[in-house]
Structure 1
Amino acid sequence: MAEQQLKQQLQQLHATLAEHPQLDSESQALLQRIAADIDELQPDQQTDLSERVQEQAVRFEQEHPTLAGVLRQIVDTLGRIGV
């Protein structure tokens, strides 16, 4: 269940990224890497992914609240699946 939710949130992240072309190239690249890491995530893989996603949510809170919200949902889902 949580994995399906994570995939839906990942799709939402991709859609939100497409809607925010004004992001600087560094932010865009970092978010795309996070999305790729989530997409490639294996159930037994232990990474600092959740921490990186949380940091980005805080970073985007003021300028891109929608994007920050999507990232926080992803952090929550990652926590539920043990990452």
Structure 2
Amino acid sequence: MPARELQEQLNALREQLEQNPPLSESERENLHELMQQIELKLELETKTHDASLADGVNLAVERFELEHPTLAGTLRNIAQALGNMGI
């Protein structure tokens, strides 16, 4: 189920952030805001396409790809799960 898969990826991202990777306060806040937006979408079970949410995840992937590849990989999984859900 895509929703369960997405929640698992959000949990993985949360665990990675708890390990305090070397992120600026701004980067950390952006990731937390992005996670909150995704969780809200998940709670509402909205099936409409929200390009801004998908774009936000993809921008985060690009931002963290070089310096934080593990975070970027988890974010890629989240983007894929959102796509599978039609979000």
User: TM-score, normalising length from structure 1?
Assistant: 0.92
Q: Which residue of 1 aligns with 2:29?
A: 29
Gaps spanning 5+ residues in structure 1: where? none
Deviation at 1:43, TM superposition (A): 2.4
Distance 2:45 2:85 in 1: 8
Cα RMSD, aligned residues only: 1.2
Distance 2:67 2:21 in 1: 13
Q: Which residue of 2 aligns with 1:43?
A: 45
Deviation at 1:4, TM superposition (A): 0.3
Q: Number of paired residues?
A: 83
Gaps spanning 5+ residues in structure 2: where? none
User: TM-score, normalising length from structure 2?
Assistant: 0.88
